[in-house]
Amino acid sequence: MKQQQFKITLGDDLRAKLDSSIALNQRSIAEEIRQRLEMSFDIQGDGHTLDLIYAILFLAHETMRDFGATWWGDERARSAFMAAIVDQVMSYPISPSDLAAKPLITLGTREQQASPEDPPEAIGRAIARNYRRRVRPLGLRSDEFDIRRFRQLMQNEEENED
């Protein structure tokens, strides 16, 4: 694939953020910009999910302001943060057309597949464990995270759904 160069102008604040990020992530400025652009395109297609991402960032910030601690550093802050996320998720209306029961996607071995009788909470915990098993090894910190590998995992999942 042919690569093209672009000349862009950045304000001082944005350039300072970018400089800080490339130092933290130990990437070139070009690679940092590429990864950030790829991430932005990954989330643009789903408005509710994009809104939830922004909400989570806001809720994390507000939790830190209210408790004087991060959600991952204090048990009370964590409980408040979880309640805020649940409340936010529940605020999104479900469209009547989405209420029709849809069959569960059958992936993995028979033992790994969810069944219609499984409670949603159990399926949700399994989804979270799958995230930790497949995605978190790509890096918990941003300097370890490989956006290309993440996108590849997501594309492989979408192909399996078709």
* pLDDT for 13 beyond 60: yes
pLDDT in tens, 76-110: 999 999 999 999 999 988 877 665 555 555 555 55
Question: Is residue 71 classed exposed, middle or buried when 0-12, 13-18 and 19+ CB atoms within 10 A define those classes?
Answer: buried
pTM score > 0.75 for this model?
Answer: no
- Would you say residue 124 lies in a domain? yes
- Would you say residue 59 lies in a domain? no
pLDDT of residue 103: 54
pLDDT of residue 6: 85
pLDDT in tens, 135-157: 777 766 665 677 677 777 777 65
pLDDT of residue 162: 47
- Would you say residue 20 lies in a domain? no
Structure tokens at 29: 């400025």
Report yes or no: 92 and 99 within 8 Å, Cβ to Cβ. no
Q: In the chain, which ranges are continuous DSSP H helix?
A: 12-25, 29-43, 47-67, 75-90, 120-134, 147-161
| Rounded Cα gap, residues 78 and 80, in angstroms | 5
- Would you say residue 140 lies in a domain? yes
| Rounded Cα gap, residues 160 and 58, in angstroms | 34
Residue 130 belongs to domain spanning: 116-155
pLDDT of residue 31: 85
pLDDT in tens, 36-85: 888 787 777 677 888 898 899 999 999 999 999 999 999 999 999 999 99
- Would you say residue 79 lies in a domain? no
Q: Coil, strand or helix: which one is 61?
A: helix
* pLDDT for 159 beyond 70: no
Q: What is the identity of the amino acid at 159?
A: E
Q: How far is residue 76 CA from its own chain's centroid?
A: 23
Domain count, the chain: 1
